[in-house]
Structure 1
């Protein structure tokens, strides 16, 4: 028992709510801040209909993004590093399962790759 009236889980839940709030209310100004100076958008004319459509497309993607706030907070709190590698199990014209991984910093790149390959094999034979 601690002297605190809250647990680590309470802190993580509050952090996840804060993360969610900060990432689910995008506005065009947020998109502008990200798009300005990005080389992929260098040829888009400022003030054009194309720029407006691009900005709205970015806002729509953020608005429709999955809430992974709890996952993100717990990864950070546990000292894990998200892997850029993603495993997908695809069905007829759609992704059926997607697995994102995070590892302790001490897990070698070789072991991360081995784990990913082993998990991919399990996934391929599971469904």
Structure 2
């Protein structure tokens, strides 16, 4: 059975709710807050609250799980904002898709030229790839020894 929403829809909604919690921590209730929001992949034609009861409750529970598993980067984020830095890009390595094992986030002052931002991203990607290549790690084995990997 297919659902009327995607994994990206769930992540977008979780991120929206996370941002709302930072703005108004007393207001957010997972589920109630998302009822009137559009499902992103439905191009604004469907709201979460218009889904069947089962689909809505499943989506609400999955969003709640995403919020529960979100890494607390609040101090890092506040420090970036206090220094008026903006995020530039994500660099990610891992098993492909959303199965990241390593990610690097770049932050910069507003007004950084596109050329410099691209040069920094390329240099960081090259440096990480060099280290991985020197250790003969590829995307399917990055940072993992599957025989020693612990359950979460």
Normalised by the size of structure 2, how large is the TM-score?
Answer: 0.57
Spell out the pairing of 1:71-82 with structure 2 (5 A cutoff).
71-82=76-87
User: Which of 41, 65, 68 pairs up with 1:63?
Assistant: 68
CA-based RMSD of the aligned residues comes to: 3.0
Counterpart-to-counterpart distance in 1, 2:30 and 2:72: 18
Q: Deviations over 1:46-91 (max 9, x none)?
A: 56111001011001101101111111011001110112x2101225
Structure 2 segments unaligned to the other structure (5+ residues): 1-17, 133-152
Give the C-alpha shift of residue 109 in structure 1. Answer: 1.6
Higher helix share: 1
User: Which of 75, 84, 87 pairs up with 2:91?
Assistant: 87
Structure 1 segments unaligned to the other structure (5+ residues): 1-18
Q: Tell me the number of residue pairs that the alignment of Structure 1 and Structure 2 aligns.
A: 104
Normalised by the size of structure 1, how large is the TM-score?
Answer: 0.67
Between the two structures, name the one with larger relative contact order (CA 8 Å, sep ≥ 6).
Answer: 1
